[in-house]
Amino acid sequence: MSVQKADVVIVGGGVMGSATAFFLRSRGQSVILLERDQIGQYASGVNFGNVRRQGRFLGQLALANRSWELWKRLPELIDDDLEFIPSGHMRVCYREDEIAELEAYAAAPEAEQLDLKIYRGAELHQRFGFLGPDVKGGSYAPHDGHANPRLAAPAFARAARRLGAQIEERTEVAEVQKVGDDFQVTTTDGRQFHAAQLLITAGAWGQKLSAQFGEPVPLDTHGPQMAVTEPVPYALPTVIGVYTKVPEEVIYFRQIPRGNIVIGGGYRSKPDMLNRRAYVEPRSILNQVSQMRRLLPGVGNLNIIRVWSGIEGYLPDSLPVMGPSGTVDGLFYAFGFCGHGFQLGPGVGDVMAELLATGSTSTPIEPFSITRFALPAEQRSQAS
Ligand SMILES: Cc1cc2nc3c(=O)[nH]c(=O)nc-3n(C[C@H](O)[C@H](O)[C@H](O)COP(=O)(O)OP(=O)(O)OC[C@H]3O[C@@H](n4cnc5c(N)ncnc54)[C@H](O)[C@@H]3O)c2cc1C
């Protein structure tokens, strides 16, 4: 059997794996990236495209800020244009008490770099004249924006390949284990890859591999719902999202310069993990249409020209698994980004590369450690 070797093997070629491959090569590490299907085919390639920092868990803003610095420099960094537009992001609400919550978030020291401004009443409707009368307030983040998800992971993978990374598509990892000082990664077609370090960036499938090392996590899967309208004249540069605790009201949209309005939110579907398909829930799309009319009455009767969904992994605390393994030296994870990993992608790649290459990172990631789900020692061997 032929065995291929590198300093690091990465399993999973979404935006997390591809960005980490790029930043690891930039640091001189040899890298093999193994992707079961095509680079960026799953969540990373079909998401809404929000490059949003506001509204995140405050303990995640340092990571989101690091990512935002990279988003601004991506064209020079990876020699590719991901259509990132720092258009501003507006988080609106329908109730007075929700404005108080937006204010509290904006006042937190961690949110300082976001330069959030709270709008309400007449000032709100003057500045954002297209919002419906039900909208009572909003938090405006001038530096957040959006980008084209379809382009992101393939662009990082191409840049990594140009720097010498080995990228293997149509390569499904069946088994991962550590033998002596080396990780041995075996694919479903019987190939073997060895490395001193192993990074699992397998998205909604991450826990299948972490469980092989006795570190299962309670990861659940959902399919967020997306739709896009026919193009209309470009008039809405700001990304708008509703802040609410009422599930039906959760909706967000962005208009791309070509004119189409991309819409997301509402009831999520349950993906078919066997066939790797996430289906569209018709009631969700109908709900989006009625919620859009409330949020943006001028939207009228625009035709929806395409609907889709994607497979995303969620942890019970809505935080990802990111950082070193709690049990195996040289093993690292970055998966389960709970519906908000696209903005984080470049920053996760940079942080994971720093962590693997130097043993530590200057960005705090402790809240995301897999050890928060650690099993008692006696159950660990049964789990693997
Ligand atoms: C519809 C939708 C809308 C979203 N909207 C936004 C948004 O607006 N903003 C935002 O910030 N985030 C958003 N997200 C979340 C974001 O897309 C994800 O958090 C992010 O893309 C996760 O990237 P990833 O690389 O971890 O996972 P993925 O993109 O899922 O990549 C994981 C890869 O691992 C591969 N893999 C799995 N198992 C194996 C194996 N055994 N062997 C080899 N390869 C394997 C898979 O084939 C896959 O390509 C959205 C997600 C969805 C689904």
296 lies in the same domain as 338 = no
- Measured CA to CA, the distance from residue 45 to residue 197 in angstroms comes to 26
Examine the domain organization and report whether 206 and 342 are in the same domain.
Answer: yes
Binning the chain into helix, strand and coil, the percentages to the nearest 5 are: 35, 25, 40
Same domain, 307 and 158: no
Ligand 1 pocket: which residues have CB below 6 Å? Answer: 11-17, 34-37, 41-44, 46-50, 172-173, 201-205, 224, 226, 264, 309-310, 312, 335, 337, 339-343
Given the CA of residue 39, which atom of ligand 1 is nearest to it? Answer: 49
Phi and psi dihedrals of 242, rounded to 5? -95, 130
Euclidean distance between CA atoms 55 and 50, whole angstroms? 12
Q: Which of 20, 34, 35 has most ligand 1 atoms within 8 Å of CB, for mutation? A: 35
Same domain flag for 284 and 210: no
Residues 243 and 296 in one domain: yes
In a domain, 67, yes or no: no
For the chain, the domain total comes to 2
One domain, residues 204 and 230: no
Q: What CATH number is associated with residue 328?
A: 3.50.50.60
Q: How many C-beta atoms surround the C-beta of residue 326 within 10 A?
A: 18
Task: Establish if 93 belongs to a structural domain.
Answer: yes
Same domain as 225, residue 210 = no
Residue type, 203: G
Each residue's pLDDT, cut to its tens digit, for the chain (384 residues) gives 789 999 999 999 999 999 999 999 999 999 999 999 999 999 999 999 999 999 999 999 999 999 999 999 999 999 999 999 999 999 999 999 999 999 999 999 999 999 999 999 999 999 999 999 999 999 999 999 999 999 999 999 999 999 999 999 999 999 999 999 999 999 999 999 999 999 999 999 999 999 999 999 999 999 999 999 999 999 999 999 999 999 999 999 999 999 999 999 999 999 999 999 999 999 999 999 999 999 999 988 899 999 999 999 999 999 999 999 999 999 999 999 999 999 999 999 999 999 999 999 999 999 999 999 997 766 665 555
Ligand 1 atom nearest the C-alpha of 226 is: 1
Last residue of a domain, one of 268, 298, 314: 314
Asked if the structure places residue 260 within a domain, the reply is yes
CB 200 within 8 A of CB 210: yes
- Beta pairing partners, 223: 269
CA dist 153 and 35 (Å) reads 12
Residue 74 is assigned to a structural domain of this protein = no
Closest residue by CA, ligand 1 atom 15: 339
Is residue 68 situated within a structural domain? no
> In 3D, which of 360, 131, 330, 337 has the Cα closest to residue 241?
131
Q: Are residues 282 and 323 in the same domain?
A: no
Give the SS3 label for residue 86: coil
By alpha-carbon position, which residue is closest to atom 19 of ligand 1?
341
Q: Give nearest CA residue, ligand 1 atom 2.
A: 47
For residue 155, the enclosing domain spans 3-48+150-218+316-383
Does 299 share its domain with 337? no
Q: Which of 292, 314, 336 is the last residue of a domain?
A: 314
Supply the residue whose CA is at minimum distance from atom 25 of ligand 1.
14
Residues 357 and 213 in one domain: yes
Residue 273 lies in a domain: yes
342 and 310 part of one domain: no
CATH of the domain at 293: 3.30.9.10
Residue 363: inside a domain, yes or no?
Answer: yes
pLDDT digits (tens, 9 = 90+) for 19-49: 999 999 999 999 999 999 999 999 999 999 9
In a domain, 61, yes or no: no
Q: Of 314, 333, 368, which residue constitutes the final position of a domain?
A: 314
Q: What is the pLDDT of residue 10?
A: 99
DSSP 143: T
SS (H, E, C) 189-228: CCCEEEEEEEEECCHHHHHHHHHHHCCCCCCEEEECEEEE
Ligand 1 atom nearest to CA at 252: 8
Tell how far the Cα of 347 is from the centroid of ligand 1, in angstroms: 15
Return the structure tokens found at 9. 């093997």
Residues 348 and 365 placed together within one structural domain of the fold: yes
